[in-house]
Amino acid sequence: MASEYKAAQQHSERFAAEDADVELLSSDNVLFKVHRASLASHSAVFPGQEVVTNGEIVSLSESSAVLDIILQYIYPSPPCHLDGLPFTTLYQVAEAAEKYQMFAVMEICRILLQIRHYQEHPLEVLAYACKYGYTSLCDQVAPLTLVVEARDAFNVLGHLYFPQWMLYREQWVGIQRSLPTYMDMDLGDIKKHWGACDERWYTWKKTCDDAVSRGDILRRLRDPDSLLASVMAINVTGHCPGCTWFWNKRRDRLRQQVAGVRDFSAIL
């Protein structure tokens, strides 16, 4: 059985040192022969407590593609450029770097996820930032997840971070519920009402309806001035003091509400 297992192994072409004193087996059955001293000098824990000292092969949960990348960083030769990796591979490398405390790789991955991938994969980057304690990255990317369905958020964030996400999101839902409707307007002190006043309301309703249909109303709330720009561009000054006062007050209120939203990292 042992001989069959050994025969089934493939060997890494890059990491095949004859004087290696550690043999690592990837999850897809590729063998890497490396030096314990090199591992120790570039990692706080690699390859973890499962390392044995009697010459046995150490089986790891990472794929050969991931191990081939991170092991390049333990030797004094130019490693591969992580900025060219697809997101899924980079994410796996980032997870492995965190697991084995390879600080140089950890920092490179964090920077790349923060500046290159957070907009296209905000939920996954948020999960990564939560798991490894990158609070500033949490706060940067959390607003971008407001467009995500709760079920999708739960599938990625899991039991541990989903409640925090829901509490963060609920702040924005509360602001959405408080957005002005036509019934909010007090017409008692308005002496003259004209077409531009209704045009503001039609424009506001269309702005909100369009944002809701696209699923990004919560995210758009982050910038009250942008959300209200098309409404405020319709001139009612000098014609309807009541509407002028109403919309200025609503804009100021929305600004205050948004300014009062707690960062994701401040929840719980």
Q: List, for residues 239-268, the tens digit of each pLDDT value.
A: 788 888 889 999 999 999 999 999 999 996
Q: Is residue 249 part of a domain?
A: yes
| pLDDT at 153 (0 to 100) | 98
| pLDDT at 189 (0 to 100) | 43
Query: 183 CB contacts (<8 Å, ≥6 apart)?
Result: none
pLDDT averaged over the chain? 87
Q: List, for residues 138-153, the tens digit of each pLDDT value.
A: 999 999 999 999 999 9
Residues 25, 109, single domain; the answer is yes
Q: Is residue 173 part of a domain?
A: no
Q: Tell me the whole-structure pTM to 2 decimals.
A: 0.84
Residue 191 has pLDDT above 50, yes or no: no
The whole-number average pLDDT for the span 66-90 is: 91
Which is it for strands 30-34 and 58-59: parallel, antiparallel or unpaired?
Answer: unpaired
Which is it for strands 58-59 and 22-25: parallel, antiparallel or unpaired?
Answer: parallel
Q: Output the domain CATH number for residue 65.
A: 3.30.710.10
Q: List, for residues 24-72, the tens digit of each pLDDT value.
A: 999 999 999 998 888 888 888 765 444 555 667 888 999 999 999 999 9
Count of domains forming the chain: 2
CA-closest candidate to residue 91, choices 113, 120, 61, 62: 113
* Domain end marker among 59, 87, 117: 117
Q: Is residue 192 part of a domain?
A: yes
- Residue at token pair 């369009």: 210
* Domain end marker among 100, 117, 134: 117
Q: Is residue 65 part of a domain?
A: yes
* Domain end marker among 101, 117, 133: 117
Residues 110, 15, single domain; the answer is yes
| pLDDT at 88 (0 to 100) | 96
C-alpha–C-alpha distance, residues 207 and 201, integer Å = 10
Q: Is residue 231 part of a domain?
A: yes
| pLDDT at 186 (0 to 100) | 52
What is the domain range of residue 73? 2-117
Residues 98, 199, single domain; the answer is no
CA distances from 112 to 67, 74, 108, 155, 254 (A): 19, 20, 6, 24, 34
13 versus 266: which is more confidently predicted?
Answer: 266
C-alpha–C-alpha distance, residues 87 and 119, integer Å = 12
Residue 171 has pLDDT above 50, yes or no: yes
Residue 190 has pLDDT above 60, yes or no: no
| pLDDT at 1 (0 to 100) | 38
Residues 108, 199, single domain; the answer is no
Q: Is residue 178 part of a domain?
A: no
Q: Is residue 158 part of a domain?
A: no
Q: Is residue 159 part of a domain?
A: no
Residues 12, 95, single domain; the answer is yes
In the chain, the percentage of residues whose pLDDT exceeds 90 is 62
